[in-house]
Amino acid sequence: MRSYLLRRLPSALLVLFAASFLIFAILRLVPGDPATSLAGPDASPATVAAIRDRLGLDAPLLSQYAHWIGSLLTGDLGPSYAIGGEVSDLIGDGLGATTELTLAALLFVILLGTAFGILGATSRSRWIRSAIRVTTTAALAVPPFVSGVLLVVLFAVVLGVLPPGGRVAFLDAPDLAAQYLLLPALCLALPSAAVLGRYLKDGIERALAEDYIRTATAAGIAPRRLLWRHALPNALPPVVTLLGMQTGHLLGGAVLVEAIFAWPGLGQLAEQGLQRRDYPVVQDLLLLLVAVFVVVQLLTDLVYAWLDPRIRWE
């Protein structure tokens, strides 16, 4: 397993390097100038030039890129241009909230996706299978900004059982924090849970159609044991890969969901950074998301290789 990990590391580092260069270049193509935004509309050219010099924006682009990468390697992210404060402090303040939301959504994805997949593949009731098919189709068809509003209207306005937005820290009040977390986590998890459920359903159905399963059924082995001991383990390896990909989608979707439910995470910080052309904040946030996605994919490959030794041999 260690040699397999060492073979995967160079490609992961190459992806991070390419992503950092693209992020840096694309942000510089966005219309607007941080120095002009900070100076204000009535500032003189000399004032704007002084701000550009102080921020280092008048240096060549390659020099700016090299300075940024060097700062990342030393752990010094530097100050924010427009929001104020150190970039590391700003990211640290929002990282806990976004991680909390993403992990809760991932738990919903696993629970709902597993239930959708197993019931859809094994239930003998046509109504249950139809209900699961309709639910997964709706979860995939309705975008999060619509499902989020519908969840708020139903549970916060009509029923009045859950808060419409905001966040409470778990350490302060765990029961109240769970109430604030439920709606945004469910909204974020629904599309990924539908994808996972459909993928798992197809995998279980293929496994149950194998000859050895039919032979074991004829020999009198209980269907529940065939499902949990044989069909489900055989369907898991590709599902693990899909789950890793969906984890990256959860991180990206958290930005939109945080805006809907006023969740104080990295999404709000990214929105502020983009509006104010705060290059250090935005480029560090984007690279952080890419790095998390790369790490998740690397861990997913390791789990896949653990479940299927043929991957390690290849």
pLDDT in tens, 225-249: 777 777 777 777 778 778 877 887 7
pTM comes to 0.79
How far from chain centre, in Å, is Cα 238?
19
Q: At what angle do helices 87-122 and 174-208 cross, to 10 degrees?
A: 40
Helices (H), 30-163: 34-39, 45-55, 61-74, 87-122, 126-141, 144-151
Average pLDDT over residues 91-95: 83
For the chain, what is the mean pLDDT? 81
Q: What is the mean pLDDT of residues 72-78?
A: 80
Whether the per-residue pLDDT at 253 is higher than 70: the answer is yes
Task: Copy the structure tokens of residue 68.
Answer: 């940024």
Query: Between these two residues, 312 and 283, which has the higher pLDDT value?
Result: 283
Give yes or no for residue 99 having a pLDDT over 60. yes
Confidence bin at 286 (pLDDT 50/70/90): confident
State mean pLDDT over 87-113: 88
Q: How confident is the model at residue 107 (pLDDT cuts 50, 70, 90)?
A: very high
Res 2: pLDDT: 66
User: What's the number of CA atoms in the CB half-sphere (13 Å) around residue 136?
Assistant: 25
32-41, 138-147, 266-275: least confident range: 32-41
Predicted confidence (pLDDT) per residue in 287-309, tens digit: 888 888 888 877 777 776 676 66
312 falls in which pLDDT band (50, 70, 90)? low
Highest mean pLDDT among 50-59, 81-90, 211-220: 81-90
Angle of helix 61-74 relative to helix 279-307, nearest 10 degrees?
60
Q: What whole-number percentage of the chain has pLDDT above 90?
A: 10
CB 135 within 8 A of CB 147: no
What's phi and psi for 238, nearest 5 deg? Answer: -65, -25
pLDDT of 282 strictly over 60 = yes
Q: Determine the 3-state secondary structure of 136 from DSSP.
A: helix
Q: Return the structure tokens found at 183.
A: 């709606």
Q: Where are the beta strands (DSSP E) in the chain?
A: none
Question: Is 8 a residue whose pLDDT tops 70?
Answer: yes
